[in-house]
Amino acid sequence: MKYEFTIIVPVFNEQECLHELLGQLKAYLAKASKITRVLLVDDGSTDSSPQLIREFCSQNESFRYIIFERNFGKGAALKAAFDHIDTPLLGYLDADLQTYPQDFEKLLPFIGEYDLVTGWRRDRKDTLVKRISSKVGNGVRHFFTSDKMHDTGCPLKIMKTSFAKNIPMFKGLQRFLPAMVLLQNGKIKEVEIPHYPRLAGKSKYNFRNRFMGPLIDCFAYVWMKKSYIKYKIGDRNE
């Protein structure tokens, strides 16, 4: 089977969500508009997530996994996935099921014209503190990147794999995926998607890591933008 699309799912201590998540992913693969597989990246979970992932993947051939020796962070999970993917398209989905796999179908029609298509959770189903901290974080990133995104941190995205592999991933840089595509002269688009309440488990974010972390990362992005190397070859001999 020649896969066209790989969905990346970073996982960190999500045992309460995994049964429902894996069921929804399997159901989506059966009806997806592209031939799709899933790559689960366990970021050093200390609960039963790794065991559940291994068991499920052993029974479902369209599911693969990477399991880290310890917690390295979401940026490292995405970097590992980018390095191991060979399909033309890749997607990104959080494990908490506040976005659903079937909503990739809202983004896929635009990926031909655009190089990254990201969701916009216009009607957020989060706590007041989480909504405020996310809004502040998005505002800070927009100030530094001018990417014109309403919801940079939306955990539902599709990218052309060639662009993803050219992103020099550093810790925290997953917050700047649209901006990093723009640095490559790529085209990006935002599409409204539904947002759902968390079904189980606990959020790994708070005001500190939604504001202070992104603020520090913005300065790293400014350095990255200034130092980023890009080129196009006009001609060469073999």
The tens digit of pLDDT for each residue in 91-102 reads: 999 998 889 999
Residue 59 CA to residue 52 CA, distance in Å, equals 11
Q: Which fold has domain 5-227?
A: Spore Coat Polysaccharide Biosynthesis Protein SpsA; Chain A (3.90.550)
pLDDT band at 130 (very low <50, low <70, confident <90, very high): low
Over range 210-234, report the average pLDDT.
Answer: 67
Counting beta carbons within 10 angstroms of the beta carbon of residue 202, is it exposed (0 to 12), middle (13 to 18) or buried (19 or more)?
A: exposed
Q: Which residue has the higher pLDDT, 237 or 24?
A: 24
pLDDT at 234 over 70: yes
Range with top average pLDDT, 36-50, 152-166, 185-199: 36-50
Over range 113-124, report the average pLDDT.
Answer: 87
Output the average pLDDT for the chain.
84
What are the phi and psi torsion angles at 22 (to 5°)?
Answer: -65, -35
What pLDDT, on a 0 to 100 scale, did the predictor assign at position 236? 81
The 8-class DSSP code of residue 175 comes to: G
- Domain range summary for the chain, segments of one domain joined by +: 5-227
Over range 140-167, report the average pLDDT.
Answer: 80
Q: Which residue has the higher pLDDT, 133 or 41?
A: 41
Query: What H or E segment, with its residue span, contains residue 102?
Result: none
